[in-house]
Amino acid sequence: MPEREVKVFDDLTALSRAAAEVVFELANRAAAERGLFSMVLAGGGTPRKLYEILASDPFAVKMPWKDVHLFWGDERFVPPESPESNYGMVNRAMLEQVPIPAENVHPVRTTQFNTASEAAADYGTEVEKFYSANDNDSESKRWNFPRLDLVLLGVGADGHTASLFPGGDELAETRKLAVAVRAPENYETTDRVSFSLPLINNAANVLFLAGGREKRQVLDAVLNDPNRAREKYPAAMVDPADGRLIWFLDREAAG
Ligand code: 6PG
């Protein structure tokens, strides 16, 4: 049975500090073993503190940035300068402060295409090309999906993760690496691009970060009744077949 862990922290700062240590340990191991660490970033508000910590001492200096390659698990179909851009949030919180080579940063190209579908197809090709060129680990090609080293995810109160929302047709995707999504109307920027479930579930490590009381109910379902939750909540459908699944919660979210 692959590794499953749930850890509860006093607050978001303690959670984010612990998450930075996990990132640091995985990055250094992957860099030492393969000279490459692929890390998929989450959007929204929860991970911002983690990105700020990775951009501060000691991580800004000690992370193996030259071997780190960054991807986005989902992106709103807006320009990078939009306040709703996940790339823009990460850029302000971390990228502007760390010595990561520009060619190691792989954002969704949201301004070169007219539709989220075109951007999703392009992003899937980008990930595939990156892996074909850089990852000769035969294990990573299991089920024909690249094996990402670490996928960071958040979870919405409705159980969405990345930009995979309950009831979305894209939950049934079995081939594509990235999909175009129309988020529910009550969400910022309904046009989105998201990694697909099979790509996420082929990762070596998945780390969920969740904070706040509003997540308590969905987390109770996902963590304590996963089989039923899996029928409804995309966050419960994340179950890396051959990878480590870790949940970091603050006390507010854990209940
Ligand atoms: C996004 C995120 C999304 C986020 C959840 C939780 O683009 O909004 O990728 O999946 O992780 O909505 O958001 P918070 O961390 O802000 O609660």
Instruction: Say yes or no: CB of residue 43 within 6 Å of ligand 1.
Output: yes
| Count of beta carbons in the 10 Å neighbourhood of residue 3 | 10
Ligand 1 atom having least distance to the Cα of 153:
11
Residue pair 73/195 in contact (Cβ under 8 Å)? The answer is yes
Task: Answer yes or no: are the C-beta atoms of 208 and 253 closer than 8 Å.
Answer: no
The encoded tokens of residue 30 equal: 């992957």
The answer to whether the CB of 162 is under 6 A from ligand 1 is yes
Q: Which two tokens stand for residue 147?
A: 């094996």
The residue to mutate among 163, 192, 219, 248, having the most atoms of ligand 1 within 8 angstroms of its beta carbon, is 163
Residue 115's pLDDT band (cuts 50, 70, 90)? very high
* Ligand 1 nearest atom to the CA of residue 188, by list position: 8
Which one of 49, 74, 76, 222 would you pick to mutate in the ligand 1 pocket, going by the greatest count of ligand atoms within 8 A of its CB?
Answer: 74
pLDDT of residue 177: 97
Of the candidates 181, 210, 172, the residue with the CA atom closest to the CA atom of residue 7: 210
CA 78 to each of CA 30, 117, 123, 196: distance values in angstroms, whole numbers, following the listed order: 32, 13, 15, 20
Give the sheet arrangement for strand 150-153, strand by strand: 4-9, 244-250, 205-210, 150-153, 37-41, 68-72, 105-106
pTM over the 0.85 mark: yes
CA pair distance 86, 89, nearest whole angstrom: 5
Contacts of residue 96, defined as CB under 8 A and 6 or more positions apart, other chains included, come to 55
Q: What are phi and psi of 37, to 5 degrees?
A: -135, 110
Torsion angles phi and psi, residue 217, rounded to 5? -65, -45
- Whole-number Å distance, alpha carbon 28 to ligand 1 midpoint, is 27
pLDDT surpasses 70 at 63: yes
pLDDT score of 2: 65
Lowest average pLDDT, out of 155-159, 168-172, 188-192, goes to 188-192
- In the reported structure, the alpha carbon of residue 136 is separated from the centroid of ligand 1 by a whole-number distance in angstroms of 32
Atom of ligand 1 nearest to the CA of 42: 9
Q: What's the gap in Å between 154 CA and the centre of ligand 1?
A: 5
pLDDT band of residue 5 (cuts 50, 70, 90) is: very high
How large a percentage of the chain has pLDDT more than 90?
A: 91
In ligand 1, the atom with minimum distance to the C-alpha of 154 is 11
Q: What is the mean pLDDT of the segment spanning 46-73?
A: 98
Ligand 1: does its nearest atom lie under 6 Å from the Cβ of 168? no
pLDDT at 132 (0 to 100):
86
Rg (CA), the chain: 17
Q: What pLDDT, on the 0 to 100 scale, is given for residue 139? A: 54
Atom of ligand 1 nearest to the CA of 86: 7
